[in-house]
């Protein structure tokens, strides 16, 4: 059994950095997004932070969306929808949430110094039902699928964030909602070049992977233990 490390101890050990932006789809439609989260071991200097976007991480986790993630400083970076392929990276301190603590618990077991968190969608929306409604409306009514890193318009960004590091372990942890199917299919097709892909597959499915943060702490502990066991067999042994 893996010790369930308290959140405060994890905050003392890791720095959480994100890149936040907004996209103007139309004058009446502006969406709030985060395209990447970097979890790195402390201590870390300002110069090291600036270098992170061009560094190879120890592992990459792919989740559903940024949820309640928010910057700890003011960010004012807005682009037009047509500029999405030119999205730049400027990492800022980010408020950690309980999902990220789960990732840190796995990091600690394997002494990882840098994990990159990507998402099926960049949409910052706390409630899953609202997120699902929002991304479906964006795609069906606005014709905008580039809220997802795995859209064709963002192929170059995906290479920089993930595909250029084909030997880095990837953990699929986007949850089990059937409404995610179109986003999952795009992701699965895009990440085929990656050599070491894992995740805790839900029984009876072929592409629904357990999210790190189920509702009960016992289930959260179980996710960490199962992930450590699976990952240790596949990538460490």
What does the angle CA 131 – CA 6 – CA 109 come to, to the nearest 5 degrees? 90
Of all helices (H) and strands (E), which one includes residue 139?
helix 128-141
CA-wise closest residue to 69 among 102, 108, 97, 36: 97
Q: Check residue 234 and give its pLDDT.
A: 56
Q: Are 62 and 119 in contact (CB under 8 A)?
A: yes
72-101 in b/e form (b: 16+ CB < 10 A) is eeebeeebebeebeebebebeebebbebbb
The 10s digit of each residue's pLDDT in 168-218 is: 999 999 999 999 999 999 999 999 999 999 999 999 999 999 999 998 989
Residue range 69-94: mean pLDDT, rounded: 94
The 10s digit of each residue's pLDDT in 23-73 is: 999 999 999 999 999 999 999 999 999 999 999 999 999 999 998 889 999
d(CA 179, CA 27): 28
Q: Check residue 237 and give its pLDDT.
A: 42
Residue range 112-133: mean pLDDT, rounded: 95
d(CA 50, CA 3): 33
d(CA 214, CA 196): 25
Q: Check residue 3 and give its pLDDT.
A: 83
111: left (phi over 0), alpha (psi -120 to 50) or beta: left
233 pLDDT band, cuts 50/70/90, is low
Q: Check residue 126 and give its pLDDT.
A: 87
Q: Check residue 215 and give its pLDDT.
A: 87
Q: Check residue 235 and give its pLDDT.
A: 53
What does the angle CA 157 – CA 190 – CA 117 come to, to the nearest 5 degrees? 60
Residue range 210-235: mean pLDDT, rounded: 88
Residue range 153-162: mean pLDDT, rounded: 96
Tokens of 218: 């016992």
Q: Check residue 2 and give its pLDDT.
A: 83
Place of tokens 């999210």: 211
Tokens of 80: 């037009």
Tell me what the pLDDT averaged over the chain comes to: 94
């Amino acid at each position: 059994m893996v010790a369930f490390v308290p959140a405060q101890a994890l905050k003392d050990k890791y720095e959480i950095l994100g890149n936040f932006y907004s996209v103007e789809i139309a004058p009446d439609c502006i969406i709030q997004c985060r395209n990447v989260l970097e979890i790195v071991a402390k201590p870390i200097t300002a110069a090291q932070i600036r270098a992170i976007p061009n560094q190879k991480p120890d592992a990459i986790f792919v989740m559903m969306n940024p949820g309640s993630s928010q910057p700890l400083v003011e960010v004012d970076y807005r682009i037009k929808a047509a500029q999405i392929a030119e999205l730049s990276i400027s990492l800022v301190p980010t408020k950690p949430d309980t999902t990220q603590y789960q990732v840190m618990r796995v990091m600690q077991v394997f002494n990882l110094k840098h994990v990159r968190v990507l998402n099926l969608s960049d949409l910052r929306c706390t409630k899953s039902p609202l997120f699902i409604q929002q991304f479906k409306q964006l795609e069906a009514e606005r014709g905008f699928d580039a809220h997802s890193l795995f859209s064709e318009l963002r192929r170059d960004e995906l290479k920089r964030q993930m595909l250029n590091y084909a030997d880095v372990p990837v953990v699929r942890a986007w949850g089990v909602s059937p409404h995610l199917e179109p986003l999952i299919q795009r992701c699965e097709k895009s990440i085929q070049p990656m050599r070491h892909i894992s995740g805790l597959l839900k029984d009876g499915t072929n592409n629904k992977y357990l999210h790190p943060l189920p509702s009960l702490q016992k289930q959260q502990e179980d996710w960490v233990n199962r992930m450590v066991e699976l990952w240790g067999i596949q990538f460490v042994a």
